[in-house]
Amino acid sequence: MARYIFVTGGVVSSLGKGLSSASLGYLLRSQGYKVRIRKMDPYLNVDPGTMSPFQHGEVFVTDDGAETDLDLGHYERFTNISAKQSDNITTGRIYSDIIKKERRGGYLGKTVQVIPHVTDRIKEFIKKDITNEDFVICEIGGTVGDIESLPFLEAIRQFSNDNGRSKSLFIHLTFVPFLKSSDEIKTKPTQHSVKELRSIGIQPDIVICRSQQSIPLDQRRKISLFCNVDIANVIETVDVKTIYEAPISFFNQKLDKQVLKFFKIKSRKRPNLQPWKKITNIVLKTGRTVNIAIIGKYVNLKDAYKSLDEALTHGGISNKVKINLVRIESDKLRSKQIKSKLKNVSGILIPGGFGKRGTEGKIEAIRYARKRKIPFLGICFGMQMAMIEFARNILKIKKAGSSELDNNCFPVIGLIEEWNKDGKIIKGTDKNLGGTMRLGLYEAKLRNNSAIKNIYKSNTISERHRHRYEVNINLMQKFEKKGLMFSGISPDNKLPEIIELKNHPWFIGVQFHPEFKSRPLNPHPLFSSFIKAAKSFNGK
Ligand code: GLN
């Protein structure tokens, strides 16, 4: 049976449970173990697909087309294990399954209750789809003490009782503040948080203490004493300068060693930290900066374009430059300001998006990038906007638009009627907004003599999608005649996947989201190439 590691958080949110779980995942995988990382989210949405990025940050899309929590992105980037639909669950999904079953009469007249029905369903999720994994790391969203996370905590308590305490390890991540006024590190919030956890019946085996500075031995002893945790298992995590240092820092703090010790396993080999040291060095030492503008609706929230920010940083790592993201809010971008706002940027990126607000600003910025020959990358909605810009200004179709935004436009972009998934035809006309898009991995064929083929160095690619609209393929000849090439297309020749401008040093639009597949240790070729072009852009 796999060993289960449950990660909970206490005191405050945003302590980096995701990053800690991901780093531990890397350290174990690097020693040759098979690892899965999963996330349980206590909110009532069935999945984050319909949640605003303002509220919850980006929606991360998996190969198998699940719209999941952005923490799964961290896990993938650090461990290079592709997450699956079965790796993320929410309270909403659990209740929705239970209520469906109840309506079908599946509970045979019984009263349906949180214990045992909800907790049983959570326990099913924890074990589902696990075959020969050595370790399953399960992160529980939220903070201990929240009403919402109680059923999850109860379920993991039961799980360890059902499966044997020696098969379940509890890690609790807390915050250890430093009080400037008294020049002291305070352990009380950690003590209280562990007390809360113990009142639910969970005794943590390892406490990870997030702190701004190193925690002196005396305070660590205190945490050990009050929390009933072996001193060797009181592990500190001091703020790192770049997230790529996290696996190194957790290794130095012996997190993986203590985890293996708990399960009475001998380490097979030392984890390979060389690649992390190398990129940490590059990130901290590179002096040269390249300014990249991201023009979108959600730029004010740091996590709204998490994978994209990361992928750009990875592109910077492969070109040994720092990326300075110039975040521009699209709805505030007026034509008159374009020149001044984009004056110092060497690359323009329009990310994925939904809805009309801010689209005219994006279209204007694309026009500027096209005319000034500034490297441009349009992702999904960004590509669709680039098609509209070209249709209006070059093909002179004044009413060119997207039927997502305007019913009376000339639809250069229209609803995808149907698509082919593994030989099956899927209709895109479902009126539900949740879970009805073309989601997950789909292939594209790349055209000969295209920039994109040169970048990927391959005839076909497979990338993750999340869209409901597509470029109108019937306009292909019209566009191509004027120098906009359809350089990638679905294998059945029906759905345009990539466009590029011939008469431009670097102008590419993609219908998919390459950012989800970029890794710090393996930067995505599209981002490396985009940053390379931006690096050599001389501005005039
Ligand atoms: N709103 C557009 C569509 O549904 C683009 C989606 C996106 O950018 N992810 O096709």
Q: How confident is the model at residue 1 (pLDDT cuts 50, 70, 90)?
A: confident
467 Cβ below 6 A of ligand 1: yes
| DSSP reduced 3-state for 150 | helix
From atom 1 of ligand 1, which residue's Cα is the shortest distance away? 354
Q: Label the pairing between strands 3-9 and 135-140.
A: parallel
Q: What is the pLDDT of residues 490-508, one digit of tens each?
A: 999 999 999 999 999 999 9
Please indicate whether the domains covering 3-267 and 278-538 agree at the CATH topology level. yes
From atom 6 of ligand 1, which residue's Cα is the shortest distance away? 467
Q: Which atom of ligand 1 is nearest to the CA of 513?
A: 9
CA–CA separation, 187 vs 93, rounded Å? 37
Query: Is 513 labeled as catalytic in the residue annotation?
Result: yes
Average pLDDT of the residues in 2-7: 97
208 Cβ below 6 A of ligand 1: no
Q: What is the pLDDT of residues 464-499, one digit of tens each?
A: 999 999 999 999 999 999 999 999 999 999 999 999
Task: Please check the confidence at residue 435 and state whether its pLDDT lies above 60.
Answer: no
Q: Which atom of ligand 1 is nearest to the CA of 470?
A: 10
Please state the domain extents for the chain: 3-267, 278-538
57 Cβ below 6 A of ligand 1: no
Q: How confident is the model at residue 432 (pLDDT cuts 50, 70, 90)?
A: low
The one catalytic residue in 138, 380, 404, 409 is 380
CA–CA separation, 506 vs 455, rounded Å? 11
Q: Which atom of ligand 1 is nearest to the CA of 354?
A: 1
Average pLDDT of the residues in 150-157: 96
Q: Which atom of ligand 1 is nearest to the CA of 465?
A: 9
Q: What is the pLDDT of residues 171-189, one digit of tens each?
A: 999 999 998 888 889 999 9
The residues near 61 (Cβ < 8 Å, ≥ 6 apart) are 67, 68, 439, 440, 464, 465, 466, 513, 516
Residue 462's pLDDT is 97
Which of 354, 513, 516 to mutate for ligand 1's pocket (most ligand atoms within 8 Å of CB)?
354
Place of tokens 């639009």: 509
Residue 417's pLDDT is 79
CA of 354 to the centre of ligand 1 (A): 6
514 within 8 A of 311, measured Cβ to Cβ:
yes
354 Cβ below 6 A of ligand 1: yes
Place of tokens 């706002």: 341
DSSP, res 116: I
From atom 7 of ligand 1, which residue's Cα is the shortest distance away? 352
| Average pLDDT score over the chain | 92
Q: How confident is the model at residue 300 (pLDDT cuts 50, 70, 90)?
A: confident
Would you state the structure tokens that stand for residue 118, as one six-digit string? 């909800």
Q: What is the pLDDT of residues 359-387, one digit of tens each?
A: 999 999 999 999 999 999 999 999 999 99
Q: Which atom of ligand 1 is nearest to the CA of 351?
A: 8
Task: Say which CATH superfamily domain 278-538 falls into.
Answer: Class I glutamine amidotransferase (GATase) domain (3.40.50.880)
381 Cβ below 6 A of ligand 1: yes
Residue 92's pLDDT is 93
Beta bridge partners of 413: 402, 471
From atom 5 of ligand 1, which residue's Cα is the shortest distance away? 381
Q: How confident is the model at residue 13 (pLDDT cuts 50, 70, 90)?
A: confident
The residues near 291 (Cβ < 8 Å, ≥ 6 apart) are 324, 326, 344, 345, 346, 347
Task: Please check the confidence at residue 333 and state whether its pLDDT lies above 90.
Answer: no
CA of 299 to the centre of ligand 1 (A): 17
Q: What is the pLDDT of residues 262-294, one digit of tens each?
A: 999 988 899 999 999 999 999 999 889 999 999
Would you state the structure tokens that stand for residue 135, as one six-digit string? 């370790």
The one catalytic residue in 310, 364, 463, 515 is 515
Residue 519's pLDDT is 95
Task: Please check the confidence at residue 322 and state whether its pLDDT lies above 80.
Answer: yes
Which of 294, 432, 467 to mutate for ligand 1's pocket (most ligand atoms within 8 Å of CB)?
467
CA–CA separation, 220 vs 274, rounded Å? 30
Q: Which atom of ligand 1 is nearest to the CA of 355?
A: 1
**327 vs 301, residue with greater confidence:** 327
CA of 65 to the centre of ligand 1 (A): 15
CA of 291 to the centre of ligand 1 (A): 26
DSSP string across 448-494: TT-HHHHHHTSSEEEEEEEESEEE-GGGHHHHHHTTEEEEEE-TTS-
Average pLDDT of the residues in 184-203: 94
CA–CA separation, 87 vs 82, rounded Å? 10
Residue 15's pLDDT is 85
Task: Please check the confidence at residue 55 and state whether its pLDDT lies above 80.
Answer: no
- Burial of residue 366 (CB within 10 Å: 0-12, 13-18, 19+) is buried
315 within 8 A of 523, measured Cβ to Cβ:
yes
436 Cβ below 6 A of ligand 1: no
| Identity of the residue numbered 135 | F
Task: Say which CATH superfamily domain 3-267 falls into.
Answer: P-loop containing nucleotide triphosphate hydrolases (3.40.50.300)
Task: Please check the confidence at residue 142 and state whether its pLDDT lies above 80.
Answer: yes
CA–CA separation, 65 vs 61, rounded Å? 6
**152 vs 16, residue with greater confidence:** 152
Q: How far apart are the first and last CA of the chain?
A: 62
- Of all residues in the chain, the percent with pLDDT exceeding 70 is 98
Which of 356, 465, 469 to mutate for ligand 1's pocket (most ligand atoms within 8 Å of CB)?
469
Task: Please check the confidence at residue 23 and state whether its pLDDT lies above 60.
Answer: yes
- Of all residues in the chain, the percent with pLDDT exceeding 90 is 80
Place of tokens 């209006």: 392
**430 vs 336, residue with greater confidence:** 336
Q: How confident is the model at residue 437 (pLDDT cuts 50, 70, 90)?
A: confident
Average pLDDT of the residues in 37-66: 86
pTM to 2 decimals? 0.91
Task: Please check the confidence at residue 434 and state whether its pLDDT lies above 60.
Answer: no
DSSP, res 210: E
Average pLDDT of the residues in 298-308: 85
Task: Please check the confidence at residue 208 and state whether its pLDDT lies above 80.
Answer: yes
Q: Which atom of ligand 1 is nearest to the CA of 382?
A: 8
Place of tokens 């379940």: 168
Which of 413, 466, 511 to mutate for ligand 1's pocket (most ligand atoms within 8 Å of CB)?
466
Q: How confident is the model at residue 538 (pLDDT cuts 50, 70, 90)?
A: confident
Query: Is 515 labeled as catalytic in the residue annotation?
Result: yes
468 Cβ below 6 A of ligand 1: yes
405 Cβ below 6 A of ligand 1: no
CA–CA separation, 523 vs 78, rounded Å? 12
